Amino acid sequence: MTTEKTTKTKDIKEIKNFFEISHLNIDNLPRILIYLSLDSFEFDLLVDHYREKLYKLHETYEFVVYVSEPGDQEKLFSELFNFSMFSCWKLVIIKFGSSFFQPILSPSKKEIFENFKNSIPNIDEKIFLLIHYDSKELPTKLVTLFNNKFAILKSRNYYPEERRKALEEILKNEKVSLEPDAIDEFIHRVTPHIGSYIKNIRKIKNLLNKKNFTLEDIREVLFPSSEFNPFQLVESIFKNDKVEFYKEFYKIKPHEDSVSQILAFLSVFVNRLDEVRKAKILFQKYPNEQDSEEFFRQMNMSSYSEPRKRFVKNRLKKESALFSDEIVSYAYQIAIDINIHLKTSSLKDINYFFIPKFNSLFLLLSSRNFS
């Protein structure tokens, strides 16, 4: 069995993030780069950067992509190690690396493994190899396969206290700005990852063709109302707005993306429940205004702007009063039931499953309003 640990040697260059190599020219870019992450946000940026630098050489280059289809391992071997008198620049991309390299790393393929390993030092200097290894850890045997001579970028999501500073750095690099409330909205709703941040900033930058963006710009481009919005659906629950809830809910249409849409809703829903449950406890522990700093620290909101802090705290006070312990428990149970239903039943009856449960939840919330 392969040990899921990364071997560290002086030959392996660890890259912090995309920015670390975004300024490098073709001569300084890593020849073999492994991107270690379950997502592909930053990997796409890396590929684009390599292609841009190769394009600027004004020379012919080949762009080859492997996605772990039958025979791809043999094709890769030929691509990397067969020499040609007329060799040109090559950018070789491997996606789904965990599946791609599994046959090569298996004990039964020892000869292929050794041939590959022994040939790695002979890769032509005009060849770049970028690998997206979709896992949390890099197998030691894969490190050995590449003779410990490669660069690695281990990607991760930002922690709450890192997000604002990271976004500000990206805005500076992209030479654009967001208004304060637009920054808060962006941080609250965009996946906290450098690749996701850069892609979304470039999206609004390219579509709107300007440098300063408002909250309305962010919402119009990144979160269009014509599409299902899990954040809006959850917001309607915590505002006890039954009409808005079903208006948003019926945007979920029976198709192949429905499961992912509902799972996205569940994720946001449970996160908001966790937030309210935690706030209820902290409001009791820190009832005085002078305790606000500690309240926000324990809520992982210290990085929020002062206006955002006031807004969020007022919202949480209203929601904590509206959501009794009984209602919070019931809401968690709804989330559990929906999750089980998605895994065991057909999506065709999802409306009939959702509606009674949320009707009951809104009935409980309305009784709190009148009590």
In the chain the domains, ranked by start, together with CATH numbers, are 13-154 (3.40.50.300), 160-222 (1.10.8.60), 230-370 (1.20.272)
pLDDT band at 353; cut points 50, 70, 90: confident
Sign of CA dihedral 101, 106, 108, 113: positive
Could you tell me which residue, 231 or 289, shows the higher pLDDT? 231
> Could you report the per-residue pLDDT of 317-339, keeping only the tens digit for each?
999 999 999 999 999 999 999 88
Dist CA 343 CA 305 (whole Å): 40
Task: Provide the pLDDT for residue 213.
Answer: 95
pLDDT band at 255; cut points 50, 70, 90: low
Q: What integer is the mean pLDDT of 47-66?
A: 88
Kindly report which listed range (203-212, 237-246, 286-295, 344-353) carries the lowest average pLDDT score: 344-353
Task: Provide the pLDDT for residue 121.
Answer: 86
pLDDT band at 129; cut points 50, 70, 90: very high
**Residue 39 pLDDT more than 60?**
yes
Answer for the pair 65, 37: CB distance below 8 angstroms, yes or no. Answer: no
Kindly report which listed range (119-123, 275-279, 366-370) carries the lowest average pLDDT score: 366-370
The structure tokens 């020379």 sit at 59
pLDDT band at 14; cut points 50, 70, 90: very high
Answer for the pair 173, 192: CB distance below 8 angstroms, yes or no. Answer: no
Rg (the chain; Cα; Å): 25
**Residue 365 pLDDT more than 60?**
yes
**Residue 167 pLDDT more than 90?**
yes
State what percent of residues in the chain have pLDDT above 70.
92
Task: Provide the pLDDT for residue 141.
Answer: 92
pLDDT band at 307; cut points 50, 70, 90: confident
In the numeric block, which tokens belong to residue 248?
């948003």
Task: Provide the pLDDT for residue 2.
Answer: 40
Mean pLDDT, the chain, as a whole number?
Answer: 86
Kindly report which listed range (107-121, 249-263, 287-301) carries the lowest average pLDDT score: 249-263
**Residue 1 pLDDT more than 50?**
no
pLDDT band at 83; cut points 50, 70, 90: low
pLDDT band at 3; cut points 50, 70, 90: very low
Task: Provide the pLDDT for residue 87.
Answer: 62
Q: What integer is the mean pLDDT of 89-105?
A: 90
pLDDT band at 237; cut points 50, 70, 90: very high
Answer for the pair 201, 168: CB distance below 8 angstroms, yes or no. Answer: no
Answer for the pair 228, 248: CB distance below 8 angstroms, yes or no. Answer: yes
pLDDT band at 6; cut points 50, 70, 90: very low
Most confident region among 73-82, 106-115, 297-306 by mean pLDDT: 106-115
Kindly report which listed range (14-18, 124-128, 256-260, 267-271) carries the lowest average pLDDT score: 256-260
Contacts of 215 (CB under 8 A, 6+ apart): 179, 181, 182, 185
Q: What integer is the mean pLDDT of 213-235?
A: 84
**Residue 105 pLDDT more than 70?**
yes
